[in-house]
């Protein structure tokens, strides 16, 4: 646990109804309550009609509690869990387009191998490298590739999941699921 007043990154997992405007409601809530989003990711789940969000926010523990309570107040939010202090898996994915003329190509590929990144496109003068991992790992590769000349980069938001058995947010989803009117 962190000290009560320390600003840390909190990672929330939220299940939401897959309806138009839900992302807007969540983003609006964070803006209105002055909660600073570091990363936000939304995607479909194996359950039809339900999306899962991973939100990383800078907050102390009190604020994190209020974020969770405020998320619950949104009618389209089905369940929320702050997984910060649980064993978890946190991943980002990045695509990096790096300058790699034929004479440099093998050197770049070798470095990528160290990071378990892989080339997904090879052009005459550039490579597109895909890397999955934590922020630190991605930033590590980026630093190494910078001298070659990074041409473009894109990164997903963080996705996260607790280790071990079913997380409480997912559990809440399967228990007592009343039917949806409308």
Partner 1 sequence: MAQPSTHPTPQGMPQQQPAIRTLTGAAIIWDVLERQGVEVVFGYPGGAIMPAYDALPGSTIRHVLVRHEQGAAHMADGYARASGRVGVCVATSGPGATNLVTGIANAMMDSIPMVAITGQVPSTLIGSDAFQETDFTGVTLPITKHNLLVTRCEDIMPAIKQAFYIASSGRPGPVVVDITKDAQNQSMQYEYDPSPVRLPGYRPERQPLPEELKEAVEMIMESKRPMIFCGHGVTEANATSLLLELVHKTDIPVALTLLGLGGFPAQHPRSLGMMGMHGEAWVNTAIQEADLIIALGMRFDDRVTGNLKTYAQNAKKIHVELDPAEINKNVKVDLPLLGDVRDILRQLVPHVGKVDCAEWVRHIEELKGDSAVRDIQDLPDSGQLFAAHVIHDLWRYTEGKALVVTDVGQHQMWEAQYYKHDHPRKLLTSGGAGTMGFALPAAMGARLACPKDEIWVIAGDGGFQMTAAELATCSQENIKVNVAIINNGFLGMVRQWQQFFYGGRYVATPIKSPDYVLLAQAHGLKGICVKSRSEVKAAVEQARANPETTLIDFRVAQEDSVYPMVPAGADLDAMIRRPKPEVKSAPHNPIFETGDDK
Query: Distance between CA atoms of 8 and 59, rounded to whole angstroms?
Result: 6
- State yes or no: residue 13 binds partner 1 (CB under 8 A): no
- The alpha carbon of residue 4 and the mean position of all alpha carbons in its chain are separated, in whole angstroms, by 24
- Residue number with CB closer to partner 1 (72 or 106): 72
In the complex, the smallest distance separating the C-beta of residue 157 from partner 1, rounded to whole angstroms, is 22
- State yes or no: residue 46 binds partner 1 (CB under 8 A): no
Cβ-proximal residues to 177 (8 Å cutoff; 6+ apart), any chain: none
From the list 62-70, 91-99, 149-157, 158-166, the region that binds partner 1 by CB under 8 A is: 62-70
Question: Which residues is 182 bridged to in the sheet?
Answer: none
The residue within the footprint of partner 1, chosen from 73, 87, 102, 123 (CB under 8 A), is: 73
From the list 35-43, 68-76, 85-93, 108-116, the region that binds partner 1 by CB under 8 A is: 68-76
From the list 70-78, 113-121, 140-148, 150-158, the region that binds partner 1 by CB under 8 A is: 70-78
In the complex, the smallest distance separating the C-beta of residue 44 from partner 1, rounded to whole angstroms, is 17
- Residue number with CB closer to partner 1 (19 or 88): 19
Cβ-proximal residues to 112 (8 Å cutoff; 6+ apart), any chain: 118, 119, 129, 131, 141
Question: What is the torsional sign of CA 115, 118, 121, 123?
Answer: positive
CB 118 within 8 A of CB 171: no
Name the pairing type of β-strands 8-17 and 77-82: antiparallel
Instruction: Report the Cα–Cα distance between both ends of the chain, in Å, rounded.
Output: 42
From the list 71-79, 105-113, 122-130, 141-149, the region that binds partner 1 by CB under 8 A is: 71-79
Q: Which residues bind partner 1 (CB under 8 A)?
A: 16-17, 21, 24-25, 28-29, 32, 62, 65-66, 69-70, 72-79, 177-182
């Amino acid at each position: 646990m962190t000290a009560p007043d320390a600003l840390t990154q909190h990672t929330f997992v939220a299940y939401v109804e897959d309806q138009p405007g839900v992302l807007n409601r969540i983003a609006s809530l964070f803006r209105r309550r002055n909660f600073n989003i570091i990363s936000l990711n939304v995607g479909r789940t194996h359950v039809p009609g339900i999306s899962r969000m991973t939100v990383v926010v800078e907050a102390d523990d009190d604020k994190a509690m209020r974020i969770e309570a405020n998320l619950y107040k949104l009618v389209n939010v089905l369940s929320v869990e702050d997984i910060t202090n649980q064993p978890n898996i946190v991943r980002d994915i990045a695509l990096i387009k790096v300058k790699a003329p034929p004479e440099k190509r093998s050197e770049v590929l070798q470095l990528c191998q160290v990071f378990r990144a892989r080339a997904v496109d090879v052009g005459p003068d550039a490579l597109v490298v895909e890397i999955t991992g934590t922020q630190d790992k991605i930033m590590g590769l980026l630093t190494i590739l910078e001298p070659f000349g990074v041409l473009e980069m894109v990164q997903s938001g963080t996705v996260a999941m607790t280790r071990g058995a079913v997380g409480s947010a997912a559990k809440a989803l399967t228990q007592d699921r009343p039917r949806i009117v409308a």
